[in-house]
Every structure is written in structure tokens, then in C-alpha cells.
């Protein structure tokens, strides 16, 4: 395969990944969590609760990042009140907490309502 064919194939794979990727965060539960992170690649799970003010502040940032990183990062949202098993498994004591998962393994945890550029810096470290 010559270099142009390799580039063309890589671009086609990227376009197909983007076409299948959701344009926003996916709701994740205790039941679906392992399947969700088992998709591989870079995944961010926003652990939140309905009553949490900082979670509500972070939510639009997560929505925006999900659109900007479509096809490169998969975003999920896990309501910790409705899914206590996963929250306990990861020792989540404060929310919002972002679980950064790469190839099904937790690589970093971000706690609190942090600025968008902080999250982007973490994402870019793993892309």
C-alpha cells in the first residue's frame, strides 16, 4: 500500500467512527457501565447527581466537549444516586467526578467543577 492509500484508509476509518459516535453524552448505568467502557478508546464518564449545583455547572461543558471531540472521545453520564454500585466501585466521594478511561482502564480522575481547558488538557494527554 502506498502512502496515499494508507492516509485514505485512515481518514475513512476516522469518518466511520465519527458517523457512529453519539453527538452528546450517553446515559450510563450500573448495568451498562462495563459494556460502555469496553468499547475501547478514550472515554470520559461524568459522575453527577440531580441535586448537585457544581454538576449542573459542569454539564454544559461536558455537552460541548462531547460535540467537539466526537469520534475521538466517548462521553457518558452516570447518575450516582441511581447507580451506587459503580460509584462505590470507583470510590466516588465528591461530585462532579470525571472518570477518564482509556482502553477500559481508569487513567485519571478529575474532581470538581473544573474549567473546560483543564479537561481538554487531560484529554489531549491521552489522545
Q: Point out the catalytic residue in the list 28, 45, 47, 52.
A: 52
* Catalytic-residue membership of 47: no
The answer to whether the beta carbons of residues 109 and 98 sit under 8 Å apart is yes
Residue 83 near residue 46, CB atoms below 8 Å: no
SS percent in the chain: helix, strand, coil, step 5: 45, 25, 30
Q: Which residues are within 8 A (CB) of 70 and not within 5 positions of it... i.e. 6 or more apart? A: 18, 21, 22, 23
Which of the residues 55, 80, 98, 122 is marked catalytic? 55
What residues act catalytically? 52, 55
Amino acid at each position: 500500500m502506498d502512502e496515499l492509500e494508507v492516509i485514505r484508509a485512515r481518514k475513512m476509518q476516522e469518518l466511520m467512527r465519527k458517523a457512529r459516535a453519539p453527538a452528546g453524552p450517553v446515559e450510563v448505568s450500573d448495568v451498562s457501565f462495563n459494556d460502555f467502557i469496553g468499547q475501547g478508546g478514550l472515554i470520559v464518564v461524568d459522575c453527577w447527581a440531580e441535586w448537585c449545583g457544581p454538576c449542573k455547572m459542569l454539564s454544559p461543558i461536558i455537552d460541548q466537549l462531547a460535540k467537539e471531540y466526537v469520534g475521538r472521545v466517548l462521553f457518558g453520564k452516570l447518575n450516582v444516586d441511581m447507580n451506587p454500585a459503580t460509584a462505590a466501585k470507583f470510590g466516588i466521594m465528591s461530585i462532579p467526578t470525571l472518570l477518564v478511561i482509556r482502553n477500559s482502564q481508569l487513567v485519571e480522575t478529575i474532581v470538581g467543577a473544573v474549567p473546560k481547558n483543564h479537561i481538554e488538557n487531560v484529554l489531549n494527554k491521552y489522545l
